Amino acid sequence: MARRTLTRRDAVGAALAAGSMLLAGCAGKGSSPAVKQVQPEEVEPVEPAEPIEQTAEPDPADWTQVELDPAPTLSWTVGTSDNSVTPNDWHWEDGVLATSVAAVMDARADEAGQVSFASFDPVSGLSFSFAGAVAQANEEIIEEPFVTSTYGAERAAWLVYRVRQEADGLDPESTHIYAQRLDYASGGLGDRVELPDGDLHGSFGTSYRLASSATRVGVYVENDAGTSVISLASDGTVETVQTGGFSLLTSFAAGAYAHTKLDEREGRDQLRSLDDGSVLLESRRVDDYEDTPNMSSYTYMVDEAMRLSDGVFLTGAGDLDTITYYVQGSEPVALADQIMALMPEDSPRGYTNAQFMGQLLDGSVILSIMRSVIRVSAGPTIECLLERERFDALEAVVMGADAVTGDIYLQTTDENVIMSPAGEDAGRWSLYPVSAHASSYGSVYTTNDTSQTKAVLWLERNDDDEVTRAVVTRGGQPT
C-alpha cells in the first residue's frame, strides 16, 4: 500500500436564479376651452426591458458525478468507555450505494438501539443520511443491520435489522427481523415491516442480504427452525420463497441466488429465481473427467454465478477448474482448457485461484488469473488483456475495472496505471473503481449488476488504507 500517491479533490456546483421587477407609472389628463393647452415635450419612447429568463433548479437525476460523504458519527458510552464510529466504507448494495450500518448493540449504553448509515440512489440522484434509534424501548439490536435494494426503475431500498424483544411477564423473550424503507426525499425511514424469523427463543439465528431483482429484495434467514429465503416486494409485501435444508452460496447475478441442499446425500447445487423460486441452473457431476486426471469426478458448479446476458451465466469464477459457461437449456461447458490455451506453455494446471475484478456494461467479466488479466464474454469469448510476462515485469496488482469504459486499473512497481480495453496505456489514477465487496456476513460476497446501475463507485485511500474520498460517476475517472 505504500506505493499509492493519493490526493483529495472536491467538486462543488451551484445554481443561481435571477428575477426581474418591472415598474409602471400612470398619468392623468384633462381639457377645458378656457384653459390654454400646453403641448408636452416630446419624450423618446423607452424600450421595454428584456425579461430575464428564470434558471430552473437542476434535476438531481441528471447527475454525472457525486461526492459521497461519510455517514453521521455514532457515539455511545458504556461505563467509563466512550466509543464512536463514522461509517465511510461505501460499497454497492445491489441497486444503491451504501456505507455499512453502525449500530449500538450494547444494552448497557443509553444510546442502545441507535444506528448510523448513508446511501445514494443512482436513479433519483438523491443522497440519504440517517442517525437515530430504530429499536424500541424493550428491544436491543442483536445483529449488524444492512441495506439492500431493488434494481427497478424506481429503487426500493430497505434497512434490515434483527432485534431481541425482552420477556414481559409470562411472555418469553423473542427475536424479530424488521425492514424499513429508505425515503430519499425526506431523509427518513418508513414504517416497520416484519419478516418471518421463526426463532422464538433459545439460540439466536442470523440473516443475510440476498441478491435482488427489479421489484424484490431477498433476505436469507437461518435459525433453529431451519433456513429460508424471504422475499420483500417494493410495496412491502412479504413472501417466503423457499424453506428447508439448504445452505446459501455466493451469487453475483441480479435476481438469482445460489444454494446447496443439505438434506440429500447427492443433493445438487441450484441457482434460483428470487421472483418465483424457479430453478435457473443446477450443478451436474461428471465421473472420470478426462481433463482432470487427479480427480475421479468433476462438478459443474452454479455458485458465484454472473449473468453475461439473458439465459447465459458464468459460474465458479473462484477457481480455474470450476469456471463454467452455462446457457439455459444446454449442456454446461468447462472453460479451463480455453483459458489455459491463452497461457504460457509452462503454466501449471493444478488448483489455480481466479479473482473476480468486475463486470462491464456489456455483461462481460474481468478476471485476474494465473498472473494475467482476461475477459470472458457471451459466446463464450475469452480474451487475454494483460499477459503473464508483462504482468510479472510490472509486478501488477489489479485494483478493478471501470464497468462503463472497460478500462482496467492497475498498481505497478512505481505507478497507478490505467490500461484501456485494447491493452494500451490510458493514463494514471488516484481513485480506483470498486466492483466486488466482501460483506461482513461471513463468506457472502456482494456486487452490483452494472447493466442495471450503469454507474461506477470510486475510492481513494491513504497509506493506512483508510478511505479519504468516495465518488460515484456515470463512468470514467472522477474530476
DSSP 239-265: EEEEEESEEEE-B-STTEEEEEESSST
Give the SS3 label for residue 321.
Answer: helix
3-state helix, strand, coil in the chain (%, to 5): 5, 45, 50
How many whole angstroms separate alpha carbon 324 and alpha carbon 301? 7
Bin 88: left if φ > 0, else alpha if -120 < ψ < 50, else beta. alpha
CA atoms within 13 A on the CB side of 356: 28
Residuewise pLDDT in 10s, the chain (479 residues):
444 433 333 433 333 233 333 333 334 444 444 445 555 566 566 666 666 666 667 888 899 999 999 999 999 999 999 999 999 989 888 889 999 999 999 999 999 999 999 999 999 999 999 999 999 989 999 989 999 999 988 999 999 999 999 999 998 988 889 999 999 999 999 999 999 875 544 445 676 777 789 999 988 887 777 788 889 999 999 998 888 877 777 777 788 888 887 655 556 788 889 888 888 988 876 654 455 444 444 567 788 888 899 899 998 877 788 889 999 988 888 898 899 888 888 777 666 778 888 888 888 999 888 889 999 999 999 999 999 899 999 999 999 899 999 999 999 999 999 999 988 999 999 999 987 544 433 334 456 777 778 899 999 988 888 889 999 999 888 99
Hey, what long-range contacts does 221-226 have (CB within 8 A, 24 or more apart)?
Answer: 221/177, 221/195, 221/196, 221/197, 222/248, 223/197, 223/198, 223/199, 224/198, 224/199, 225/198, 225/199, 226/198
Which residues contact residue 285 at a Cβ distance below 8 angstroms, ignoring those fewer than 6 apart?
266, 297, 298, 299, 300
Q: For the segment 79-134, what is each residue's pLDDT rounded down to a tens digit?
A: 999 999 999 989 888 889 999 999 999 999 999 999 999 999 999 999 999 999 99
Which residues contact residue 354 at a Cβ distance below 8 angstroms, ignoring those fewer than 6 apart?
317, 318, 319, 320, 323, 367, 368, 369
The residue assigned the cell 400612470 is: 26
The three three-digit cell numbers of residue 234, written as one number = 417494493
- Predicted local distance difference test score (pLDDT) of residue 83: 95
Give the SS3 label for residue 131.
Answer: strand
- Predicted local distance difference test score (pLDDT) of residue 377: 94
Let me know: does 338 contact 320? Beta carbons within 8 Å. Answer: no
| Model-wide pTM > 0.75 | yes
- Predicted local distance difference test score (pLDDT) of residue 6: 38
The three three-digit cell numbers of residue 52, written as one number = 430575464
